[in-house]
Structure 1
Amino acid sequence: MRKLPLIGLTLDAEQPGGYSKLPWYALRQNYFASVVRAGGLPVALPHEAALAEAYLDEVDGLLVTGGAFDVDPSLYGGGPAHETVTLKQGRTAFELAMVQGALARDMPVLGICGGEQLLAVALGGTLIQHIPDSVADCLPHEQPNPRTEPGHEVAITEGSLLAHAAGTLRMAVNSAHHQAVATPGPRALVNAVAPDGVIEGIESTGHRFALGVQWHPEYAVDPKDQAILDAFVAACRDAAAARRAA
């Protein structure tokens, strides 16, 4: 019997060029390493939306990663796409099928950066298409300094799942996004906010563990970043044990 919870990680997809002359998948090693440190067994998930339920039959939790692209505004009633919006339709279709399927099973989900935004949309929320056009005097959420350093702090909502997972109400975070959650939706609440008011985290109010953070805890720029991954993998372990006992 497998002892480690199996964690599915979504991949990014790239067009020919660079690594290969054919289309290819990619994901930074620190995503996988952070799951291993938390006690999980990470596996990569190619973008096959028709296989979403088959994947979900096998994994104990879902980690939706970030990437340099945006959720299609048509999925949340956002109107015409802003000129800065970049789409990866195949990836989004796959990730949305996985998130919706995981939520239907009450399987633990962690959304990171764009994964947080997709989780918000799956929970009925909406997005800001381009922060500088919507938030006056906003911070540089596409931070100019390296991603291995913090860009700003966030205030965490007391009593939230995130506060319980991180064990703190304030964290330093890295910042690599031009979009953000506008409204968390009727099935979610805001659990973290930047000093300029931009939403930095959301979580479901109706699932055991469905958490999204706008920053990248896999970089561990704050001492509490790994605690978020630890709490996610622990929830996956508990969910797997409950499923086996049922």
Structure 2
Amino acid sequence: MSKPVIGIQMQKLPEQFYYRLSYKYTEAIYAAGGIPVMLPLIAEQDYVDHIWPLLDGLILSGCQTDLDPKRYGEAPHAKLGPVNETRDRFDWMLLERAHAEHVPVLGICRGFQTLNVYRGGTLIQDLPSQQPSEIKHSIEEPPEAFAHEVRLAPQTVLNHAAVEKTAQVNSLHHQAVKKLGKGLAPVAWAEDGVIEAFQSEDLAQHHVVGVQWHPERLWQADDFSLSIFKNFIAAVVAHKQG
């Protein structure tokens, strides 16, 4: 049986003249059983129409730009980071196709936030200034280090057990979910109440999962992180088989 093809967008800062993507993403996808395909940020319908039929699943990667707050009806906060309208527009085009065809989606960090806003949610634009906490959500290097604990909801895609559990995660974000998007259920929280993961309420019909941390940085030494990718690939295979 052929392996599922997973599309993942590359990144680009406004002043850069090249695309880039951490190899940690592609290695994690391949280790979990998928074939990664990197997507340049070509926010044109013709490009999406040509590339989309080749993909079986979609991962929205993290990046160093913030989502433009106009996407969720807010003015920019003073601490808002750089934005990339092309990335935002490209993400929306991909998500429109994924939702129309129930193609499985995994959102990571900025991709998690994008999924939330796409479904009508909003963001805290800067956690340190708008919602101060003893939890360090934006740690310094190395990104492979655990930063804090999250509580996992029982009987969810992240925790199949009937009792609540916890997991250690890394943390590289200054924004967070404020209002949860339509059809999303929270499945993990930091100790300060920040939503760290969600899944679609209709998971069996459309597998949509988002995590605020970076499991692609941890999977080689952390079974929990690897399971996030394996569960996603399993959902892609199931969808592909109909």
Same-fold call, TM cutoff 0.5: yes
**Which residue matches 1:42?**
36
Q: Equivalent residues in 2 for 1:49-198 (5 A)? A: 49=43, 50=45, 51-164=47-160, 169-198=165-194
Give 1:213's aligned residue. 211
Cα separation, 1, equivalents of 2:170 and 2:236: 25
Q: Does 1:10 pair with 2:4? A: no
In 1, Cα distance between the equivalents of 2:196 and 2:29?
21
Q: In 2, distance between residues paired with 1:131 and 1:105?
A: 34
Q: Distance in 2 between matches of 1:93 and 1:43?
A: 19
1:240 has 2:236 as partner: no
Superimposed CA distance per residue, residues 108-138 of structure 1 (whole angstroms, 9 cap, x where no aligned partner): 0000000000011111111100001222334
CA displacement at 1:241 relative to structure 2? 1.3
CA distance in structure 1 between the aligned counterparts of 2:102 and 2:131, rounded to whole angstroms? 34
Structure 2: tracts of 5 or more residues without a match: none
Moved over 6 A (4+): none
Q: Distance in 2 between matches of 1:152 and 1:231?
A: 23
C-alpha distance in 2, partners of 1:124/1:138? 29
Give distance in 2, aligned partners of 1:116 and 1:15: 21
- What is the one-letter code of the residue matched to 2:124? I
Aligned twin of 2:224:
224
**Deviations 1:120-161 (Å, cap 9, x if unpaired)?**
111111110000122233422111351111000111111222
Contact map agreement 1:67 1:114 (CA 8 A) in 2: yes
The whole-number CA distance in structure 2 between the counterparts of 1:225 and 1:236 is 17
**Structure 2-normalised TM-score?**
0.90
* 1:230 positional shift: 0.3
Distance 1:4-1:16 versus aligned 2 partners, 3 A rule: same
Give the distance between the partners of 1:218 and 1:42, measured in 2 at CA. 13
Residue identity over aligned pairs, in percent, reads: 35
Displacement of 1:83 in angstroms is: 3.2
Residue deviations 1:162-216 (CA, integer Å, cap 9, x gap): 2239x98311100000001112123111111111111111222134310000000
SS across alignment from 1:25: coil
Q: Determine the C-alpha separation between the residues in 2 that align with 1:15 and 1:34.
A: 27
Matched pairs, number: 235
Q: Give the unaligned 5+ runs of structure 1.
A: 18-22
SS in 1 for 2:37: strand
SS state at 2:158 partner: helix
Please state how far the C-alpha of 1:79 moved relative to its aligned partner: 2.8
Which letter maps to 1:45?
Answer: L
CA contact (8 A) 2:79 2:125 kept: no
User: 1:20 maps to what in 2?
Assistant: none
Distance in 2 (alpha carbons) for counterparts of 1:79 and 1:154: 30
Distance 1:46 1:168, change over 3 A: farther
Counterpart for residue 27 of structure 2: 33
**What TM-score, normalized by structure 1, do the two folds share?**
0.89
